[in-house]
Amino acid sequence: MVDLKSDTLRGFIKEGSDARLAKSFTFKTSLKASAFKVYTPEELVGFGFENGRNFKTQKSDLINYPGFVFAKRLIKGKTDLYVWRKKSQAKPDMFITNNEIDKTVHLINPSKKNVTSEDGKKFSRKDRKYLGLLYSIKTEQQDQNRKEVRYSEKKIYEDLLNYNLQFSEDYPVSEYEEKQVNRYEIVVGMPMENSVGGTQFRVSIYRDKQRTERSTNWSYIRGVSFRHWGNEDRELPDFKNGTSNYRWQTLSLIPIGVKYQKAKGIVRPYAYAGLGIGVLLMTNYVIEKYENTGSEKSFSYGPTANLGVGLKINLGNSYLLTEITPTIDGIFFNGITPPMDALFLNLGYSF
């Protein structure tokens, strides 16, 4: 870290999310040291980690948050891009520094304003102040085409990166790649009460992707879930001609989902929800003249909502999972379900 006298001090900083480190951090001169010190933005020029995760003190222009914050640098070049993430705000504030003219601007997520036109019609309009600041910090003629840039971290990142690459000979460009943790989860479950008889079970495999620098609670999931129900010995209905179902097999693909989990502790509650599509293979007995003459198969598909709540038990570098997933008759919960309402108890392993 670098203090206000430009002196550098090396030691150990307790890691946390960007939002937590924006206000303060805990520092030790050695891991064995019992004494520690908490530093705030007013005391330092900035600090960083060995992996290139660097923060710089920036002055906030917000009326409701005057003062200084630690903002993380994502791009270094002719212009440096810093982000100030907050727990209560999806889109971060951004600071852009032009190193040639030593000027910094503070970009704020635009708010909507209610406007009344001359004919009395009311409509809402977003504040476009951030665009003017973005244009002003880039001083060269070749970037004065005033293209529209939506306020998002990704879009402004791309815009500044393209701008910086024009001057890479004089101002070498570097990008910081945020830390990402991928975990894989395998879960097997059975119904807590088998009201329809037969054999039932489910197997799910998920990939859990967490950007720990952005949040230690939220993560993105995707995966696949298989459901089986079968009862070949079920009593056939008493009708002359028709079909009688005795097996359902569902494969549900979940391309997108979110999970919320407690970040600390030996036992950590979690809940997740994901959207997907399910493919159902249904096998039926064929009844002709009151007799079972064989079987036939049919396919169908539909959207699925995949939900679950559970507990993670910390085993060190892995976790033991126990969770409950619902199935509801007529609704595509956790796969296309056979005619039943049930809760599945699942056990699993995360690594």
Task: Note the pLDDT tens digit of each residue in 299-338.
Answer: 988 888 899 999 999 999 999 999 999 876 444 555 555 5
The whole-number pLDDT of residue 331 equals: 46
Residue 334, pLDDT score: 59
Which of 37-41, 70-74, 290-294, 322-326 shows the lowest mean pLDDT across its residues? 290-294
Cβ pair 166, 142 in contact under 8 A: yes
Gap between the Cα atoms of 313 and 124, Å rounded:
48
Q: Are 53 and 118 in contact (CB under 8 A)?
A: no
Please name which of 24, 55, 90, 93 lies closest in space to residue 176, comparing C-alpha atoms.
55
Q: How large is the average pLDDT for residues 147-159?
A: 93
Contact 221, 271 (CB under 8 A): no
Question: Closest Cα to residue 274, out of 291, 292, 260?
Answer: 260
Q: What is the pTM of this model?
A: 0.81
- CB burial readout 310-319, b (16+ within 10 A) else e: bbbeeeeeeb
Nearest Cα residue to 272 out of 303, 305, 309: 309
Average pLDDT of span 214-233: 92
Q: Does 181-350 carry CATH code 1.10.3080.10?
A: no
- Averaged pLDDT, 272-297: 87
Q: In terms of C-beta density within 10 A (0-12 exposed, 13-18 middle, 19 or more buried), how is residue 340 classed? A: middle
| 46: enclosing H helix or E strand | strand 44-48
Note the pLDDT of residue 61: 87
Enter the DSSP assignment of 29: S
Select the more confidently predicted residue: 123 or 84.
84
Instruction: Express as a percent the part of the chain with pLDDT over 90.
Output: 66
Instruction: Report the distance separating Cα 148 and Cα 152, nearest Å.
Output: 12
Torsion, Cα 44 45 51 52, to 10 degrees, reads 160
As a whole number, the mean pLDDT across the chain is 89
Residue 246 has pLDDT above 90, yes or no: no
Residue 294's pLDDT is 84
What pLDDT shows up at residue 146? 66
Average pLDDT over residues 274-284: 90
Mean of the pLDDT values across residues 53-63? 94
Name the β-bridge partners of 273.
258, 307
The predicted pLDDT at position 240 comes to: 74
Mean pLDDT confidence for 252-276? 95
- H-helix segments, the chain: 18-21, 129-137, 153-165
Query: Per-residue pLDDT for 239 more than 80?
Result: no
- Domain boundaries for CATH 2.40.160.20 within the chain: 181-350
Lowest mean pLDDT segment, chosen from 65-79, 108-122, 310-324 = 108-122
Which band of pLDDT confidence, cut at 50, 70 and 90, is reported for residue 289? confident
> pLDDT value at position 140?
67
| 281's tokens | 């293979």
- pLDDT on residue 330: 45
Residue 176 has pLDDT above 90, yes or no: yes
Hey, how many other C-beta atoms are within 10 angstroms of the C-beta on 161? 16
More confident residue, 333 or 282: 282
Please give the radius of gyration of the chain, using alpha carbons only, rounded to the nearest integer: 28
17-21 long-range Cβ contacts below 8 angstroms, 24+ apart:
17/85, 17/212, 17/213, 17/214, 17/215, 17/216, 18/72, 18/83, 18/84, 18/85, 18/92, 18/213, 18/214, 19/85, 19/86, 19/87, 19/215, 21/55, 21/70, 21/72
